[in-house]
Structure 1
Amino acid sequence: MKTDTIRNLTPKAKENFIAFLKTTELPAGYSDPEFMSNYINFAFDESLEKSGIDHKTAVLIIMTSLVACGGENEYEHMVNAALNLGVDKVSIKETLYHTTPYVGIGKTAQFIKITNEVFTKRGIDTRQKSEQTVSKDDRYEKGLQAQIDIFGERMRNYKDSYTPDTRHFADFLSANCFGDYYTRTGLDLKFRELLTFVILASLGGVESQLKAHITGNIRVGNDRAKLISVVTLLVPYIGYPRSLNALSAINETAPYKEK
């Protein structure tokens, strides 16, 4: 399909867009240059620059958000961008795997397919060594330890707060969400917890979980400034209502303090 050069880009938007996508041509399937110009100027100049987040980290955050939002077309572009920026395939795959317990396999499976298709087109082997560190015998214990590392000692007996008929959900969280995913290699615990914040902010409507993971992020070293920089980056991808809800959750959980 014929592409048109995207016009009226700011110098910084053009510079960053080329760094990510290696072109200033309209992606195939897009027929609105003005729409793309507005998007690129905001996302690749104002939002990206104000966030202060480096390109490699930014693209993984954006990819994670797009999975939560269901943005398949933009996700495909961002996988290519990640590879253009030199992000390794393990980080790309692990970022995607990490979304699974939060968005569900119904969403993640399609993005696995898209990722593998991009890898194949670019001559990258879709196979990789296992990043798993748990077995069926210790996934619960290691997952629970990850929860304790993030949220503190109060998590050691947290399942006692569940009623007897719902306690298996606490077991699922420890063994599956944290045991099967948080303990994987390829990404460290601090970055995985940041990605969880990204996912929850992008999903919207999950304020109680979002606030809990803001607390978790603060505990592992992702401070208020870091979380605000992430929301700043996400505005073009998740919109203002979800962005402002995330800011409200940050303000409630980690209030601004005068210096």
Structure 2
Amino acid sequence: MQNRLNEKQQAIIPIAAFAAIGEVDKLKTALHKGLNTGITINELKEILVHIYAYCGFPRSLNAISALMTVLEDRHLKGIADETGREPAPTPQGWNSLTAGSENQTRLVGKPVTGKIFEFSPAIDQFLKSHLFGDLFQRDVLDWSTRELVTISALAAMSGVSSQLKSHYAISLNSGMTIKQLHHFVDILETQCGDTSENSARKILAEFLNTENNQ
């Protein structure tokens, strides 16, 4: 059982956090560090695409633009970064809604229902088909990495405590360990400081307390 996040995983945390809140200068520094740890260009692209589901297209597009600037700067300095592999083709007969519903159920641990989805069936369909279907089927990042990206982004954003708590649970179902979640909070506080909402540790404690009392 893994107790700590590895070097690449640690580097992902500030990348996702700064991208999600639009701290472009800090993001560029984090991207340089991420590339230096061996994160590939395509992995970074995928990270910055993934966050749009949580912070929107504008922040995602700005972050991808920052990555382009960083790569050009490194190219001019003679640094050759690994491109990495492309995502596998979509399987024949792929159905985003069917696959996404199955993926969501696996990650959450049970079928997801609720009054909000009854009130707005469209958001339920888009969550299942696009986020858990189209995005999660792209295998440049494994599910555990996608969840690390997600909790990093949510922890840096304001007003999304309930979503962060939910994704702590999904992180465990995707393969992370409780000790790695504690390490995540340590790295978030060290690397992002006051940029984060500083509630990630509190929310983790609340989540674990709920889990222990079930």
TM-score, normalised by the number of residues in structure 2: 0.82
Question: Does the aligned pair in 1 maintain the 2:154–2:163 contact within 8 Å?
Answer: yes
Find runs of 4+ consecutive structure 1 residues off by over 4 angstroms. 124-128, 134-137
Question: Are positions 1:163 and 2:115 aligned together?
Answer: no
Question: Are positions 1:133 and 2:90 aligned together?
Answer: yes
Letter of the structure 2 residue corresponding to residue 147 of structure 1: Q
Q: Distance in 1 between matches of 2:49 and 2:91?
A: 15
Letter of the structure 2 residue corresponding to residue 84 of structure 1: N
Name the larger-Rg structure: 1
Alignment-derived partner of residue 117 in structure 1? 69
Alignment-derived partner of residue 192 in structure 1? 146
Alignment-derived partner of residue 99 in structure 2? 142
Q: For residue 119 of structure 1, report the CA deviation from its aligned partner.
A: 2.0
Matches within 5 A, 1:157-236: 158=113, 162-163=117-118, 166-235=120-189, 236=191
User: What 5-or-longer segments of structure 2 have no aligned partner?
Assistant: 76-80
Q: Distance in 2 between matches of 1:134 and 1:169?
A: 25
Matches within 5 A, 1:48-59: 53-59=5-11
Match among 218, 222, 242 for residue 197 of structure 2: 242
Question: What is the CA deviation profile of residues 171-229 of structure 1, one whole-angstrom value per residue up to 9, with x for unaligned ones?
Answer: 01011122221221111112212221111111131111111111112223323221121
Task: Tell me the percent identity.
Answer: 24
Q: For residue 116 of structure 1, report the CA deviation from its aligned partner.
A: 1.7
Question: What is the CA deviation profile of residues 224-248 of structure 1, one whole-angstrom value per residue up to 9, with x for unaligned ones?
Answer: 22112111111141528722x2222
Q: Residue 184 of structure 1 aligns to a residue in which SS?
A: coil
Q: Residue 118 of structure 2 aligns to a residue in which SS?
A: coil
User: What 5-or-longer segments of structure 1 have no aligned partner?
Assistant: 1-50
Letter of the structure 2 residue corresponding to residue 222 of structure 1: M
Q: For residue 63 of structure 1, report the CA deviation from its aligned partner.
A: 0.5
**Structure 1 residues 83 and 169 mapped into 2: Cα distance closer, same or farther (>3 Å)?**
same
Match among 150, 154, 167 for residue 111 of structure 2: 154
Aligned positions, number:
203
Alignment-derived partner of residue 63 in structure 1? 15
**Structure 1 residues 167 and 141 mapped into 2: Cα distance closer, same or farther (>3 Å)?**
same
Q: For residue 120 of structure 1, report the CA deviation from its aligned partner.
A: 3.0
Tell me which of the two structures has the higher relative contact order, counting C-alpha pairs closer than 8 angstroms and 6 or more residues apart. Answer: 2
Letter of the structure 1 residue corresponding to residue 98 of structure 2: E
**Structure 1 residues 192 and 224 mapped into 2: Cα distance closer, same or farther (>3 Å)?**
same
Q: Distance in 1 between matches of 2:95 and 2:84?
A: 25
Alignment-derived partner of residue 9 in structure 1? none
Q: Distance in 2 between matches of 1:75 and 1:96?
A: 11
